[in-house]
Amino acid sequence: MPQGKPEAVPDDGLTTRERRRQPVLAVHTGQGKGKSTAAFGMALRAWNAGWPIVVYQFVKSPKWRVGEEAALRALGETGKGGTVTWHKMGEGWSWIQRSGTERDHAAEAAEGWAQVKRDLSAQAYRFYVLDEFTYPMKWGWVDVADVVATLRDRPGSQHVVVTGRDAHGDLVAAADLVTDMTKVKHPMDAGRKGQQGLEW
Cβ closest to a copy of itself, residue 7 vs residue 153 = 7
Which position among 54, 75, 149, 154 is part of the footprint of a copy of itself (CB under 8 A)?
75
Q: Is 169 in the site for a copy of itself (CB under 8 A)?
A: no
Smallest gap from residue 195 Cβ to a copy of itself (A):
5
Q: What is the C-alpha separation between 101 and 96, in angstroms, rounded?
A: 13
Q: What is the C-alpha separation between 193 and 51, in angstroms, rounded?
A: 36
Site string for a copy of itself, 83-122 (x = CB under 8 A): ----------------------------------------
Smallest gap from residue 30 Cβ to a copy of itself (A):
7
Q: Is 168 in the site for a copy of itself (CB under 8 A)?
A: no
134 CB-contact burial (10 Å; exposed 0-12 / middle 13-18 / buried 19+): buried
Q: What is the C-alpha separation between 175 and 164, in angstroms, rounded?
A: 14
User: With CB under 8 A as the contact rule, which of the stretches 48-56, 86-94, 111-119, 141-149 interacts with a copy of itself?
Assistant: 48-56
Site string for a copy of itself, 145-164 (x = CB under 8 A): --------------x-----
Identify which of 138, 149, 140, 129 has the alpha carbon closest to the alpha carbon of residue 69: 129
Smallest gap from residue 125 Cβ to a copy of itself (A):
12
Cβ closest to a copy of itself, residue 99 vs residue 153 = 153
Listing DSSP states for 21-46 in one string gives T---EEEEESSSS-HHHHHHHHHHHH
